[in-house]
């Protein structure tokens, strides 16, 4: 009986050691969680034309555009990793046609007009590694106003068929990027 108790105690100690050694520490939810926006021209059951992966920062009482994110400076267009746009087919944004593929999306916000930048350098964090020589296309679009304040940066698509807009919204700013394919 004594041998059984010792064996049981040894097994319990070994289990506790192994369990502690393999336990994982997982972080909580990111302050600016990642999100995905799709453009599916004929609804959820249609093939996607565009997929955007981006981080969603929140205002949290701060002035973001023209404040934390300065006007006139290159921005990663979201939070954390630079926003990436995957085109499943050739798409024209404004007057610039991009071939199917994946691009980083940077912007230069300003009060009345934004510069939209599609760049070929991928898998970067923030705009720290932005390289203008890798720009594939730049377009300028007007900056408008939202109907109500947008707390968390959001990218959504409007439209059906081959004409649509990619909308960037945050605070009281709405930027509509026309597209067709």
Q: Which tens digits make up the pLDDT trace of 149-174?
A: 999 999 999 998 788 999 999 999 99
Q: What is the mean pLDDT of residues 66-87?
A: 96
Question: Which residues form the domain of 150?
Answer: 30-180
Whether 17 is covered by a domain: the verdict is no
Give the number of domains in the chain.
1
What's the CA gap between 107 and 85, in Å, rounded?
13
Whether 63 is covered by a domain: the verdict is yes
Whether 58 is covered by a domain: the verdict is yes
Q: What is the mean pLDDT of residues 116-142?
A: 97
Whether 127 is covered by a domain: the verdict is yes
Q: What is the mean pLDDT of residues 59-77?
A: 94
- pTM equals 0.84
Check residues 146 and 24 and name the one with the higher pLDDT.
Answer: 146
Question: What is the token pair recorded at 49?
Answer: 């034309």
Is the pLDDT confidence value at 36 over 80? yes
Whether 79 is covered by a domain: the verdict is yes
Residue 79 parent element (H or E): none
- Cα-based angle 34, 140, 87 (whole degrees, multiple of 5): 45
Whether 2 is covered by a domain: the verdict is no
Whether 23 is covered by a domain: the verdict is no
Whether 25 is covered by a domain: the verdict is no
Tell me whether strands 163-180 and 96-98 are parallel, antiparallel or unpaired: unpaired
All residues at 6 or more sequence positions from 6 whose CB lies less than 8 Å from its CB, including other chains: none
């Amino acid at each position: 009986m004594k041998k059984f108790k010792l064996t049981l105690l040894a097994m319990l100690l070994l289990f506790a050691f192994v369990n502690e050694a393999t336990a994982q520490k997982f972080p909580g939810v990111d302050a600016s969680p990642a999100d995905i926006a799709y453009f599916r021209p004929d609804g959820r059951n249609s093939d996607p034309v565009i997929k955007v992966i981006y981080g969603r920062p929140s205002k949290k009482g701060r002035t973001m555009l023209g404040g934390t994110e300065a006007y006139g400076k290159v921005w990663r267009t979201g939070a954390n990793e630079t926003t990436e746009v995957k085109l499943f087919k050739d798409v024209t944004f404004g007057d610039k046609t991009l071939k199917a593929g994946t691009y980083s999306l940077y912007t230069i916000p300003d009060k009345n007009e934004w510069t939209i930048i599609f760049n070929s350098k991928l898998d970067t964090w923030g705009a720290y590694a932005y390289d203008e020589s890798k720009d594939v296309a730049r377009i300028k679009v007007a900056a408008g106003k939202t109907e109500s304040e947008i707390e968390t940066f959001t990218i959504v698509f409007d439209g059906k068929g081959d004409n649509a807009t990619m909308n960037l919204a945050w605070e009281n700013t709405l930027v509509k990027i026309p597209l067709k394919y």
